[in-house]
Amino acid sequence: VPYEWIAPLLTKVAGLCLLLIAVLFAFVSPPPSGFSWGAGGSAYQTEGAWNVDGKGMSIWDAFAHKKGKIFLNDTGDFSCEGYHKVKDDISLMKDMNLKHYRFSISWPRILPTGIKNENINEKGIRYYDDLINKLLENKITPIVTLYHWDLPQILEEKYRGWQNASMVNLFNDFANLCFERFGNRVRHWITFNNPWVMEGYETGEHAPGLKLRGVGAYKAAHHIIKAHAKVWHTYDTQWRNKQKGLVGISLSGDWGEPVDISNQRDIEAAERYVQFYMGWFATPLFNGDYPQVMKDYIGRKSAQQGLGASRLPVFTAQEKSYIRGTCDFLGIGHFTTRYITQKNYPSGRGNSYFTDRDLAELVDPRWPDPGSEWLYSVPWGFRRLLNFVKKQYGNPMIYVTENGVSEKMMCTDLCDDWRMQYFKDYINEMLKAIKDGVNIKAYTAWSLLDKFEWDEGYSERFGLYYVDFRDKNKPRYPKASVQYYKSIISSNGFPNQRELESWKGKAIETCSSSNQLLAADPLISHMGMVTEIVVPTMCTLSILLSAVFLMFLLRRRL
């Protein structure tokens, strides 16, 4: 008899539950299972140990050692001392439950002269072996970048680095060595990080410090694109069958939004901004040649200058087909957005990459900008960029290789609510892009640690972990965002608004106690100074004094 009323009741309850679940999923859609949450860093920015164990010099070592190039003349000589702290850093990653860690291999650390046939530095190889093994032991996937801007200095001196086509083969040899030595354990390779090398070859603000306006960066990029393609083919023909990995590139791209969306000229200028940025590299790799708009603009301006050929180099038909389709996945580093408007730059002597584009960049003063002066938080730009990539390049597999925000140098507040807000907003936009159908496989928070921020030295802190650079042990302190990101990882995205707020609350609570630790730090370093300098000096002095006194006494007795 009870079945008569229990059965319909149960059906109703089940129906209600299903409805509730459906409603929940309509609002929050977690990324697909297998999505990877990670964090990253790069060799020169974190390793330190610049001349240890046989490492050769890189262009960044040389550049940073010159006075006046880096804020406060800082260098990456010691940085986070990551070279000596593999175990410690992996336990930080483990604690956060990171699924992957993105790092780069320093070319001169394993090939001090840059050339494979000359000298392989086994100690350097051992360091990366150890790092990879320990990551894997802890179930953290290594995502490895082969070039994060630290070309062997000797190649710059001998060949003018990326200005010279011979880098293509030399880089291929280096990459091949990495596949040979590490490829049995590494499945994700990024050939180049952000080869938008403007600062190195156009303005001279980055290594190697060349100011070859309107020419140098185009030339360097041309060789970099060829080198990428060559490395992809090397992997494809020699290693893929055995190692079953993927080879991609990591491009950085800001989003450009037209200032006036009803003005065709602004719309085109904004499109040009993105094409000159990410399209410069992505279009050859996916479609075989530079974006048409780059060819048109640079070609026209070069002609107006009276040059016989475009300053933008040209790929032969053979090269185009060799380069096309050489990306197993596209890495995207994204931080910010600009409003774009059309602006004519008459061609003349002041030609440069920047004037070639015929546009002006603007920002909305209401956009939050907690750290680096170029970095405004504009989350919606991220979703637009991701959708642009999907449309332009045939929905490629995307790895978000960098996304994050900095704070100013003097800020020692570990309760970084602005970073939690940035992560929340940007990750939400990424999740919406996944819902839009963008094929995103991974998200990499940038960065795990505070680190050397290129020409800005240590003045901009991107880390989830605060690094006390004043202390020679470079202790790491978790910022509140560590706890927050950890919760995002454990729930594979965002469950609901209320939970988010409570994570934030908890994160802020825990960071206050770390703040106290950090505040006590000057005292600790002071104590360090006492034990390491004052005490030994006093002891030596007392021994010396006693010896003099003893001699004096003995002489008098005699």
Residues that bind ligand NOJ (CB under 6 A): 42, 45, 193-194, 252, 333, 402, 453, 462
Pairing of strands 337-342, 359-362: antiparallel
Q: Give which of 201, 162, 181, 163 is closest to 111, Cα–Cα.
A: 181
48 phi/psi in degrees, rounded to 5: 65, -145
In the bound complex, what is the minimum distance in angstroms from residue 479's beta carbon to ligand NOJ? 16
For residues 26 and 20, give the distance between their C-alpha atoms in angstroms, rounded to a whole number: 10
DSSP state of 373: T
State the catalytic residue, choosing from 202, 271, 402, 407: 402
With respect to ligand NOJ, which residue has the nearer C-beta, 189 or 494? 189
Q: How far is CA 180 from the centre of its chain?
A: 25
Cβ–Cβ < 8 Å for 453, 406: yes
Nearest to 375 by CA among 280, 449, 305, 461: 461
- CA dist 82 and 131 (Å) reads 10
**Which residue lies nearer to ligand NOJ by CB, 333 or 379?**
333
Report in angstroms how near the CB of residue 278 gets to ligand NOJ at its nearest: 13
| Position of minimal CB gap to ligand NOJ | 194
Query: Tokens 């040899």, residue?
Result: 173
For residue 219, CA distances in Å to 169, 222, 244 come to 16, 5, 33
The rounded distance, in Å, linking the Cα atoms of 178 and 8 is 65
Q: How far is the CB of 452 from ligand NOJ (least distance, A)?
A: 9
Query: Could you tell me how far CA 240 lies from the centroid of its own chain?
Result: 26
d(CA 175, CA 86): 23
In terms of CB distance, is 271 or 453 closer to ligand NOJ? 453
Note whether 153 and 58 are within 8 A (CB): yes
- 402 belongs to the catalytic site: yes
Nearer to ligand NOJ, 328 or 402 (CB): 402
Terminus-to-terminus CA distance in the chain, angstroms?
Answer: 122
* Residue 259: CB atoms within 10 Å: 19
**Taking the complex as a whole, how short is the minimal distance between the CB of residue 101 and ligand NOJ, in angstroms?**
15
Beta carbon nearer to ligand NOJ, 224 or 269: 224
As measured in angstroms, the least distance from the Cβ of 525 to ligand NOJ is 26
Closest to ligand NOJ by CB, 200 vs 493, is 200
User: Rounded to an integer, what distance in angstroms lies between the CA atom of residue 286 and that of residue 305?
Assistant: 31
- In the complex, the smallest distance separating the C-beta of residue 463 from ligand NOJ, rounded to whole angstroms, is 10
Residues noted as catalytic: 402
